Amino acid sequence: MVEIEKTVGEEGKELVIHKKIPNHGAVLKELIDIVGEDYVMDGSASLFVYSGDMTENVAHMPEFVVAPITADEVQKIILLANREKIPVVPFVSGSNLGGLAIPLEGGIIVDLKRMNKILEVNERDLYAIIEAGVTFADIKDYLDKNHPNLVYTYTYATPAAGVVPNALLEGLVTLSAKYGATVAFINGLEAVLPTGEIVKVGSCATSKYWFSRNPLPDLVGLFTSWQGMTGIVTKLAIQLDPKPAYTGIKMIMSDEVHESFQLMEELGRAQILDNLIMFNWGLVLAVIQMPREVAGSEKDEASPTIYLEMDYSAINTIKELEAKEEIIETLAKKYECGLWDYKDVGDGITKVLDVPMTFAGLFTHGPGGLTWIGAYGPCSQYETAYNVANEVFSRHPRFTPWLYAKTFKHGHFGAMRTLIGFDRSNAEEVRETRELMREMAKGLMDIGYIPYKTPVEISEMVLKRSDPNFALFMKKIKNALDPNRIMNPGRWGL
């Protein structure tokens, strides 16, 4: 750990400043030798930009920011950091919503944005090999221009968000109902380990094709959900899909919570959807960009309680699409839910559903604070999770409940996401946000859901509730891979 010099700012708006390492000048010179003068920063204004994010998490100043352009440069940075025992935090856009790229123990931020090449697209085997800094905008634009018959999957995050961190963090996307979280899209990867070796994992370790994680021991898991604690992934092979010839989106708007979730379970099992999401009224008002004072913190009589969005597609024929529509209509009728074509729902919503989608409206709520507890769990507990989340929000009436649930892998599991918009300039509101987060995590874990992409305090709660040998096993792996504890230290409380 780089020692703490001081903490400035009141509770709720803290900034931790770490002491400079004694050989700061010598390390700076070595970093400049590796990446060039233009790509190393150690001035306080530049470092401040990387110290915090939009969440409630305490900000920490890094000591250096470096922006390598090759795996070879990443390797040299890690070898230097390992020799000098300086913390290293990989970074692309910092929009993870869990404070995960905040340098808890100071050290070097490795900004990977310059590593933005799409190295290969294999049309016949349906994958792309990308570098660590490729964004969702990059991959979409590249495929649209060069391989218009192929698509990747997209998030609700900013198009500037990194594809690699998203996959490593098990993100939720437009094809989640079909395939699961984005970890399922990873065919293999190349990474620089904390001790400097460059390794390949997946079929690419043995074959010249990055076609799959099968049939070797699946070591991709050593990098996923570890929040950058086990190495820096420099290349990732992602699964692509043929672009469907036909697509459709249907919406259900309902006040019947129980029926809506039952319908959601059945729609998952029907195996016809690419994407299946439940938005609550609060989130719908927010994403169509109504400021807090207009949207209010109470549901008005006219707005439906629940919105179900169903995205479906057909690769070959319109008949395939129509068959899916028929199944959706039958199920909607069974639960007496009215069905809308999304085009008829209104401009605000359709705007949000276009790819790349963005939840930009969420940022109009107060000066910029946004955070969340997202949890994965069984679809059978959707309704209970929804009730728990609403109950927690009801204890904190200053926050509008923003909820959405999602179905993964045709109903094999689901997500309940609770987003919290808050005023970052109001220390009291930040404190209450932290309280709400703890209550939400506890409530959802009590019913069998597991929060993911979590800040340290919540990660520690997760590990405390886990089989003690699981936590021990994680520690053993971390120590074996990173004996000097340099990679994103402090995450998961490790």
Ligand X SMILES: Cc1cc2nc3c(=O)[nH]c(=O)nc-3n(C[C@H](O)[C@H](O)[C@H](O)COP(=O)(O)OP(=O)(O)OC[C@H]3O[C@@H](n4cnc5c(N)ncnc54)[C@H](O)[C@@H]3O)c2cc1C
Q: Is 115 exposed, middle or buried (0-12, 13-18, 19+ CB in 10 A)?
A: buried
Taking CB under 6 A as the rule, does residue 94 contact ligand X?
yes
Q: Measured between alpha carbons, how far is 34 from 293 in angstroms, rounded to an integer?
A: 51
Taking CB under 6 A as the rule, does residue 228 contact ligand X?
yes
Q: Measured between alpha carbons, how far is 73 from 81 in angstroms, rounded to an integer?
A: 12
SS3 label, residue 60: strand
The least distance separating ligand X from the CB of residue 27, rounded to whole angstroms, comes to: 20
Footprint (CB under 6 A) of ligand X, residues 371-400: none
Number of residues that bind ligand X (CB under 6 A): 33
Q: Which residue in the set 41, 67, 80, 89 belongs to the binding site for ligand X (CB under 6 A)?
A: 89
Taking CB under 6 A as the rule, does residue 295 contact ligand X?
no
Q: Measured between alpha carbons, how far is 320 from 52 in angstroms, rounded to an integer?
A: 48
Helix 468-481 / helix 456-465 crossing angle, nearest 10 deg: 130
Taking CB under 6 A as the rule, does residue 90 contact ligand X?
yes
Of all residues in this chain, which one has the CB nearest to ligand X in the complex?
A: 171
Taking CB under 6 A as the rule, does residue 77 contact ligand X?
no
Taking CB under 6 A as the rule, does residue 168 contact ligand X?
yes
Taking CB under 6 A as the rule, does residue 192 contact ligand X?
no
- Measured over all CA atoms, what is the biggest interatomic distance in the chain, rounded to whole angstroms? 71
Taking CB under 6 A as the rule, does residue 421 contact ligand X?
no
Nearer to ligand X, 35 or 161 (CB): 161
Taking CB under 6 A as the rule, does residue 112 contact ligand X?
yes
The least distance separating ligand X from the CB of residue 13, rounded to whole angstroms, comes to: 20
Strand order in the sheet with 339-341: 339-341, 246-254, 306-314, 275-280, 402-408, 413-423, 368-377, 450-452
* Stretch touching ligand X by CB under 6 A, among 160-168, 212-220, 338-346, 387-395: 160-168
Beta bridge partners of 253: 307
Taking CB under 6 A as the rule, does residue 451 contact ligand X?
no
Taking CB under 6 A as the rule, does residue 171 contact ligand X?
yes
* Pair type for strands 88-91 and 108-111: parallel
Q: Measured between alpha carbons, how far is 157 from 168 in angstroms, rounded to an integer?
A: 15
φ/ψ of residue 135, rounded to 5 = -100, 170
Q: Measured between alpha carbons, how far is 476 from 471 in angstroms, rounded to an integer?
A: 9
Nearer to ligand X, 62 or 165 (CB): 165
Q: Which of 289, 280, 421, 279 is nearest to 351 (CA)?
A: 289
Task: State the binding string over 465-494 for ligand X (x if CB under 6 A, else -).
Answer: -----------------------x------
Nearer to ligand X, 12 or 90 (CB): 90
Task: State the binding string over 114-143 for ligand X (x if CB under 6 A, else -).
Answer: ------------------x-----------
Nearer to ligand X, 310 or 321 (CB): 310
* Stretch touching ligand X by CB under 6 A, among 92-100, 255-263, 297-305, 464-472: 92-100
Nearer to ligand X, 62 or 331 (CB): 62
Nearer to ligand X, 185 or 281 (CB): 185
The least distance separating ligand X from the CB of residue 454, rounded to whole angstroms, comes to: 11
Token look-up 């920011």 returns: 65
Q: Which residue in the set 57, 116, 155, 400 belongs to the binding site for ligand X (CB under 6 A)?
A: 155
Q: Measured between alpha carbons, how far is 112 from 236 in angstroms, rounded to an integer?
A: 13
Nearer to ligand X, 31 or 370 (CB): 370
Structure-token pair, residue 195: 């001790």
* Stretch touching ligand X by CB under 6 A, among 158-166, 272-280, 289-297, 464-472: 158-166
Q: Which residue in the set 50, 64, 142, 156 belongs to the binding site for ligand X (CB under 6 A)?
A: 156
Q: How many CB atoms lie within 10 A of CB 274?
A: 22
The least distance separating ligand X from the CB of residue 316, rounded to whole angstroms, comes to: 28
The least distance separating ligand X from the CB of residue 268, rounded to whole angstroms, comes to: 18
Which letter, b or e, does each residue of 415-434 get, where b requires 16 or more Cβ atoms within 10 Å of its Cβ? bbbbbbbbbbebeebbebbb
DSSP single-letter state for residue 102: S
Q: Which residue in the set 17, 81, 86, 101 belongs to the binding site for ligand X (CB under 6 A)?
A: 101
Structure-token pair, residue 328: 């959706």
Taking CB under 6 A as the rule, does residue 68 contact ligand X?
no
Q: Which helix (H) or strand (E) holds 332?
A: helix 318-334
Are 253 and 303 a contacting pair, CB within 8 Å? no
For residue 204, the Cα-to-chain-centroid distance in whole angstroms is 25
Residues forming the site for ligand X (CB under 6 A)? 89-97, 100-101, 112, 132, 155-157, 161-162, 164-166, 168-169, 171-172, 227-228, 232-233, 359, 362, 370, 488
